[in-house]
């Protein structure tokens, strides 16, 4: 698995994860109705660190 800093081109994948989490309103103190653009701007803002992982989670033997 490769972990690297997230970039705006990762936004669709990030939104698929954080969108439902924000909408549920149970994990983050964020407006449940914030737009996708606002959520991604918050998540990928310059004052934060976000990471993306690529690869398999399968155990190697």
Domain ranges of the chain: 2-54
Residue found by looking up tokens 């653009």 in the block: 37
Burial label for 22, CB within 10 Å (0-12, 13-18, 19+), is: buried
pLDDT in tens, 15-61: 999 999 999 999 999 999 999 999 999 999 999 999 999 887 676 66
Residue found by looking up tokens 């954080």 in the block: 18
Q: For position 59, what pLDDT does the model report?
A: 67
Pairwise CA distance, residues 61 & 53, whole Å = 21
Residue 1's pLDDT band, with cuts at 50, 70 and 90, is confident
């Amino acid at each position: 698995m490769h972990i690297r800093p997230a970039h705006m081109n990762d936004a669709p994948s990030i939104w698929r994860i954080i969108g439902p989490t924000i909408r549920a309103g149970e994990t983050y103190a964020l407006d449940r109705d914030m737009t996708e653009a606002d959520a991604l701007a918050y998540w990928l803002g310059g004052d934060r660190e976000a990471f993306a992982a690529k690869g398999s989670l399968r155990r190697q033997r």
